Amino acid sequence: MAGKQLALPINRLESFSDGVIAIVITLMIFQIKIPAINENATASDVWNSLFTLLPSLVAYVLSFVMVGVLWVNHHQFFHQLKNIDRKLLWYNLHLLFWMCIIPIPTAFLGLHFQKPEATALYGFTMFMTAVAFAIMREYVHKSEHLLIDHLSNTLRKKLRRKLLMTVGLYFISIFTGYISIYIPISIFVLVIVMYFMPQNIVVEVAE
Amino acid sequence: MAGKQLALPINRLESFSDGVIAIVITLMIFQIKIPAINENATASDVWNSLFTLLPSLVAYVLSFVMVGVLWVNHHQFFHQLKNIDRKLLWYNLHLLFWMCIIPIPTAFLGLHFQKPEATALYGFTMFMTAVAFAIMREYVHKSEHLLIDHLSNTLRKKLRRKLLMTVGLYFISIFTGYISIYIPISIFVLVIVMYFMPQNIVVEVAE
Amino acid sequence: MAGKQLALPINRLESFSDGVIAIVITLMIFQIKIPAINENATASDVWNSLFTLLPSLVAYVLSFVMVGVLWVNHHQFFHQLKNIDRKLLWYNLHLLFWMCIIPIPTAFLGLHFQKPEATALYGFTMFMTAVAFAIMREYVHKSEHLLIDHLSNTLRKKLRRKLLMTVGLYFISIFTGYISIYIPISIFVLVIVMYFMPQNIVVEVAE
Amino acid sequence: MAGKQLALPINRLESFSDGVIAIVITLMIFQIKIPAINENATASDVWNSLFTLLPSLVAYVLSFVMVGVLWVNHHQFFHQLKNIDRKLLWYNLHLLFWMCIIPIPTAFLGLHFQKPEATALYGFTMFMTAVAFAIMREYVHKSEHLLIDHLSNTLRKKLRRKLLMTVGLYFISIFTGYISIYIPISIFVLVIVMYFMPQNIVVEVAE
Distance from first CA to last CA of chain A, Å, rounded?
A: 36
pLDDT of residue C89: 87
Find the closest chain B residue to C31 by CA distance. Answer: B30
Cβ separation D46–A12 shorter than 8 A: no
The alpha-carbon gap from D50 to the nearest alpha carbon of chain A, in Å, equals 10
D148 contacts on A by Cβ (under 8 Å): 5
**pLDDT interval class at A8 (50, 70, 90):** low
Residue D156 confidence (pLDDT)? 81
Give the whole-angstrom CA distance, residue B84 versus residue B10. 7
| pLDDT score at B150 | 67
C-beta of residue C29 within 8 angstroms of C-beta of residue D101 = yes
Selection from A120, A128, A119 nearest residue A101 by Cα: A128
Look at B20 and A22 and tell me if their CB atoms are within 8 Å. yes
Residue A24 confidence (pLDDT): 93
Confidence tier at D207 by pLDDT (50, 70, 90): very low
- The phi-psi region of residue A23 (left if phi > 0; otherwise alpha if psi is between -120 and 50; otherwise beta) is alpha
The region of weakest confidence among A162-171, A189-198, B147-156, C177-186 is B147-156
Q: What is the pLDDT of residues D146-175, one digit of tens each?
A: 777 667 778 888 888 889 999 999 999 999
CB contact, 8 Å: D177 with chain C?
A: no
Show which of residues 108-147 on chain D sit within 8 Å of chain C, judged by CB atoms.
Answer: 108, 111-112, 115-117, 121
Cα–Cα distance between D169 and C36 in angstroms, integer?
29
Task: Please state the φ and ψ torsions of residue A52, each to the nearest 5 degrees.
Answer: -65, -20
For residue D123, what pLDDT is reported?
96
Cβ separation of C20 and B18 shorter than 8 Å? Answer: no
Average pLDDT, chain C: 85
Reported as a pLDDT band with limits 50, 70 and 90, residue C197 is low
Chain D residue with CA closest to C202: the answer is D3
For range C165-171, the mean pLDDT: 95
Q: What is the mean pLDDT of residues B138-151?
A: 79
What is the pLDDT at residue C135? Answer: 94
Q: What percent of chain B is predicted at pLDDT more than 90?
A: 48
Q: Return the top range by mean pLDDT from A71-80, A133-142, B42-51, B164-173.
A: B164-173
Residues with Cβ within 8 Å of D160's Cβ and at least 6 positions away in sequence, in order, are D137, D138, D141
Measured in angstroms, the CA of B45 and the nearest CA of chain C are apart by 11
Length of chain C: 207
Partner A contacted by B12 (CB < 8 A): yes
Give the span between the Cα atoms of C102 and D181, in whole angstroms.
Answer: 38
Residue C66 near chain D (CB below 8 Å): no
Average pLDDT on D36-63 reads 87
Tens digit of each residue's pLDDT (9 = 90 or more) over B111-120: 888 889 999 9
Mean pLDDT calculated for residue range D11-35? 88
Mean pLDDT of B146-169: 83
Average pLDDT (D68-96) is: 88
Cα maximum dimension of chain A:
72
In chain B, residues with a C-beta closer than 8 Å to the C-beta of C115 are: 37, 46
Q: Answer whether residue B137 shows pLDDT above 60.
A: yes
By the CB < 8 Å criterion, does D4 face chain A?
no
More confident residue, B3 or A187: A187
DSSP state of B147: B
CA distance D26 to A98: 11
- For the stretch D135-149, pLDDT in tens is 999 998 888 777 776
pLDDT at A4 over 60: no
Q: Which of B170-184, C64-78, C161-175 has the lowest mean pLDDT?
A: C64-78
At C178 the pLDDT is 92
Beta bridge partners of D147: D81
Paired residues of C147 in beta bridges:
C81
Under the banding of pLDDT at 50, 70 and 90, the label for residue C46 is: confident
Residues C43-47, mean pLDDT to the nearest whole number: 86
3-class secondary-structure state, position D116: helix
C50–chain D Cβ distance below 8 A for any pair: yes
One-letter amino acid at A153 equals N
Which H or E run includes A151? none
Sign of CA dihedral A181, A183, A186, A187: negative
CB count in 10 Å sphere of residue B154? 10
- Max alpha carbon distance in chain C (Å)? 72
The shortest CB-CB distance from D101 to any of C23, C29, C205 is to C29
pLDDT of B201 > 70? The answer is: no
Are the C-beta atoms of residues D177 and D116 closer than 8 Å to each other? yes
Residue B124 scores a pLDDT above 90: yes
Is C202's pLDDT higher than 60? no
pLDDT at D198 (0 to 100): 55
Sign of the dihedral defined by the CA atoms of residues D68, D74, D80, D81, in that order: negative
Segment B85-102 shows an average pLDDT of: 92
Q: Which are the contacts of A10, defined by CB distance < 8 A and separation ≥ 6?
A: A78, A81, A83, A84
Q: Indicate the range of A77-81, B190-194, C51-55 predicted with least confidence.
A: A77-81
Across the C:D interface, residue pairs with CB atoms under 8 Å apart total: 81
State mean pLDDT over A60-65: 94
State the pLDDT at residue D142.
84
Question: What's the whole-number average pLDDT of chain D?
Answer: 85
Instruction: Enumerate the residues of chain A whose CB falls inside 8 A of the CB of residue B23.
Output: 22-23, 26-27
Flag whether residue B19 sits within 8 Å of chain A, measured between CB atoms: yes
* CB-CB under 8 Å, A61 with B97: yes
In this prediction, residue A199 carries a pLDDT of: 44
Which residues, including other chains, have CB under 8 Å from residue D1's CB and lie 6 or more apart?
C150
- Rounded percentage of chain A residues whose pLDDT exceeds 70: 90
Tell me the C-alpha distance between A122 and A66, whole Å. 11
* Cβ–Cβ gap D100/C43 under 8 Å: no
- Mean pLDDT in residue range D9-34: 87
Q: A29 — contact with chain D (CB < 8 Å)?
A: no
Q: Is the pLDDT of residue A150 over 80?
A: no
- Torsions phi, psi for B174 (to 5 deg): -65, -40
Compute the mean pLDDT over every residue in chain B, rounded to the nearest whole number.
85
Instruction: Give the pLDDT confidence score for residue A39 in this predicted structure.
Output: 77
Q: What is the mean pLDDT of residues D28-47?
A: 84
pLDDT of residue A198: 55
**pLDDT > 70? residue D5:** no
> Phi, psi (5° rounding) for residue C3?
-65, -25
Per-residue b or e along A100-111, where b marks 16 or more CB atoms closer than 10 Å to that residue's CB = bbbbbbbbbbbb
Query: How many residues can be counted in chain D?
Result: 207
Instruction: Check residue C15 and give its pLDDT.
Output: 86
pLDDT score recorded for residue A147: 76
CA–CA separation, C206 and D1 (whole Å):
8
C170, pLDDT greater than 90: yes
CB atoms within 10 A of CB D90: 16
CB within 8 Å: B90 and A76 = no
Size of interface A-B (CB pairs under 8 A): 80
Taking each continuous run of H as one helix and of E as one strand, the counts in chain A are: 9, 0
Say if the Cβ atoms of C2 and B155 lie within 8 Å: yes
Q: What percent of chain C has pLDDT over 90?
A: 47
Q: What residues does A147 pair with on adjacent strands?
A: A81
pLDDT at D150: 67
